Amino acid sequence: MLAFLKKNYLYFLLAFIALFPYIFSLNNEFLSDDIPGIVQNPDIGTARYFTRIPPLFTQPVLYNITYKMFGLTPWAFRLPNLLSHIGVVLVIFAVVKKITGSEKTGVLSALITAVHPLQSEAVLWISGGIHCWLAFFVLLAFLAYLQKKSVWVVGSIYLLTLTTSEKAMVFFPILLLYELCFGNLKKNLKKLLLPLGLTLLWFTIYALKIPARVAQVGPVISPKGELLTRVFAVPIIALSSYLELIAWPRNLTLYHSETNYSHFEFILRAGVVVTIASTFAWGLLKKKKQLVFWLGFFVLALLTVITPFGISWLVAERYVYLGAIGVYTLISYATVRLAEKYRQLAVPTLGAGILVLILLAGRTIDRSIDWKTADNLWLSAAKTSPSSPQNRNNLGDYYARQGNLAEAVNQFTYATKLLPCYADAHHNLANTYTKLGQLDKAIEHYNKALECNPNLWQSQQNLEQIYQYLGKTGK
């Protein structure tokens, strides 16, 4: 046993460091999408829950089992996120060590992944945890490929990943890039056929669902502007924002709504993306394989969410959970190479690295407090996302629960001004007007909510109750 611990001490150390910033957040509340998806979902304990979002089986099966074993206990639903995060840290250590040939680079990359606050949304938010899971399975399948496991082993892990999230389709492009950088594409082409086939199958399934997805969520999350404009604007804003959050993770929020940049700001962000593309091209010409692969890894991991079609949020921290590892590894690789080349810098570099990791872990702990309760989350988002209609709606709910109905009206009204056809905000505004006894305004906003979302049965039900009350009182 002692020999085993000594041999694998790095894995235990990395697991502990990955656990440390999150250990006291396990029992944070159910938040945001957790409420309708888990707490208020009547099917979660039944077989019907498995048929809601085929062919995604991993999440519903796990949630169903968790509910049957532990009921609506937050830590039981959040634990898989944390275990997946620890798994990602351990697997990325092995992957980076294998590709770079440097244990130090693997350790540093894993440490940054373990404590960087940009990773925290996917760990702390139960509904966002699916991004932890898919990252773990993608990296596990990639490690199996690197270790020359059977194509069926790799394919089985990949299939499990696809049943977790369609965003796992990025696995095949990553494999292809790896073969172009480090392998032999012609020699290993047969090994890629099964991952390619699974990718094409899943792509076909989800391409057919895009129109329904746009119709469902497009009015709320769709990027603004004509399609041709969005084709260029979405990658520029998303990639530059993610790099900004990696370098300076201060303005972390559930809703990254502050994207109405001036022409000058947009040009600067476009310059960042052009620099990425130029660096990638330079790396290809100079055969800088590590640079090309890990920079490409960052971009490829985001392929499914930097689209102009209104199927994803423009910027969301959970989306970059996997892709950010490419940047962390580039930073680690460059740092280790620098320290090895200029040995006099080794000690200062080590000291600076430890300080940075401590600061990052501190910010992650601070972020876990933001995710402790709904009130904490909405108030923290108010500081960074003042133009988010979703958070204005959440703030309205916060003030309504505090008994400050006048401020609740202000927040719900603001939300409807930011997003005129926001059914939930109109519904909540109508509820507040009902409590204030202003039934004419309540009727107006219930009707507006139904106009925006005819399936909002709660508005229809409340509207009928008002009409019944008015009929009985003769008002």
User: Which CATH number fits the domain that encloses residue 432?
Assistant: 1.25.40.10
Q: Which of 344, 370, 396 is the last residue of a domain?
A: 370
**Which pLDDT belongs to residue 2?**
67
For residue 377, count other CB atoms closer than 10 A to its CB: 24
Residues constituting the chain: 475
**Which pLDDT belongs to residue 218?**
57
Domain ranges, residue 114: 10-370
The closest of 89, 116, 71 to 10, measured between CA atoms, is 89
Residue 3 counted as domain residue: no
**Which pLDDT belongs to residue 363?**
97
- Looking at the fold, whether 65 and 168 belong to one and the same domain comes out as yes
CA distance 369 to 380: 10
* Cα dihedral 241/244/245/247 (nearest 10): 160
Q: Which of 370, 403, 422 is the last residue of a domain?
A: 370
Which of the 8 DSSP states describes residue 147?
T
**Which pLDDT belongs to residue 54?**
60
Residue 249 counted as domain residue: yes
For the packed helices 103-115 and 324-341, what is the interaxial angle rounded to 10 degrees?
Answer: 140
- Looking at the fold, whether 359 and 403 belong to one and the same domain comes out as no
**Which pLDDT belongs to residue 275?**
97
Number of structural domains, the chain?
2
For residue 72, count other CB atoms closer than 10 A to its CB: 15
Q: 438 vs 111, 412, 425, CA distance in Å? A: 56, 15, 17
Q: Which residue has the tokens 């965003």?
A: 167
**Which pLDDT belongs to residue 145?**
97
The closest of 153, 67, 87, 51 to 322, measured between CA atoms, is 87
Half-sphere exposure of 155 (CA within 13 A, CB side): 12
CB 253 within 8 A of CB 381: yes
Burial of 137 (0-12, 13-18, 19+ CB in 10 A): buried
Residue 349 counted as domain residue: yes
Q: Tokens in use for 300?
A: 């490829």
CA distance 411 to 413: 5
* Cα dihedral 396/397/403/404 (nearest 10): -10
**Which pLDDT belongs to residue 8?**
84
CA distance 54 to 421: 29
55 cis-preceded (ω within 30 degrees of 0): yes
Residue 4 counted as domain residue: no
Residue 379 counted as domain residue: no
CA distance 93 to 328: 12
- Looking at the fold, whether 262 and 139 belong to one and the same domain comes out as yes
What does the angle CA 318 – CA 280 – CA 122 come to, to the nearest 5 degrees?
Answer: 10
CA distance 115 to 133: 17
Residue type, 142: F
Residue 299 counted as domain residue: yes
Q: Tokens in use for 358?
A: 């401590």
- Looking at the fold, whether 305 and 353 belong to one and the same domain comes out as yes
The closest of 126, 53, 28, 138 to 92, measured between CA atoms, is 138
The closest of 222, 243, 218 to 233, measured between CA atoms, is 222
For the packed helices 374-384 and 389-401, what is the interaxial angle rounded to 10 degrees?
Answer: 140
CA distance 67 to 59: 12
CA distance 56 to 466: 41
Residue type, 384: T
- Looking at the fold, whether 196 and 340 belong to one and the same domain comes out as yes
Please, what are the averages of pLDDT over each run of 10 residues along the chain (475 residues)? 76 96 96 92 83 73 92 96 98 98 97 98 97 97 96 95 94 97 92 96 86 64 62 91 96 93 94 97 96 98 88 92 98 95 88 96 97 96 95 96 96 96 96 95 96 92 91 62
Give the H or E element holding residue 2.
helix 2-7
Residue 376 counted as domain residue: no
CA distance 299 to 175: 14
CB 99 within 8 A of CB 146: yes
- Looking at the fold, whether 414 and 360 belong to one and the same domain comes out as no
Burial of 423 (0-12, 13-18, 19+ CB in 10 A): buried
- Cα end-to-end span (Å), the chain: 81
- Looking at the fold, whether 324 and 465 belong to one and the same domain comes out as no
- Looking at the fold, whether 286 and 424 belong to one and the same domain comes out as no
Q: Which of 343, 370, 397 is the last residue of a domain?
A: 370
pTM flag (> 0.85): yes
CB 395 within 8 A of CB 52: no
- Looking at the fold, whether 393 and 316 belong to one and the same domain comes out as no
- Looking at the fold, whether 69 and 181 belong to one and the same domain comes out as yes
- Looking at the fold, whether 26 and 174 belong to one and the same domain comes out as yes
**Which pLDDT belongs to residue 346?**
84
Dihedral (CA of 457, 462, 465, 471) sign = negative
For residue 337, count other CB atoms closer than 10 A to its CB: 15
- Looking at the fold, whether 166 and 283 belong to one and the same domain comes out as yes
Q: Tokens in use for 63?
A: 């949630």
Residue 432 counted as domain residue: yes
* Cα dihedral 271/276/282/283 (nearest 10): 170
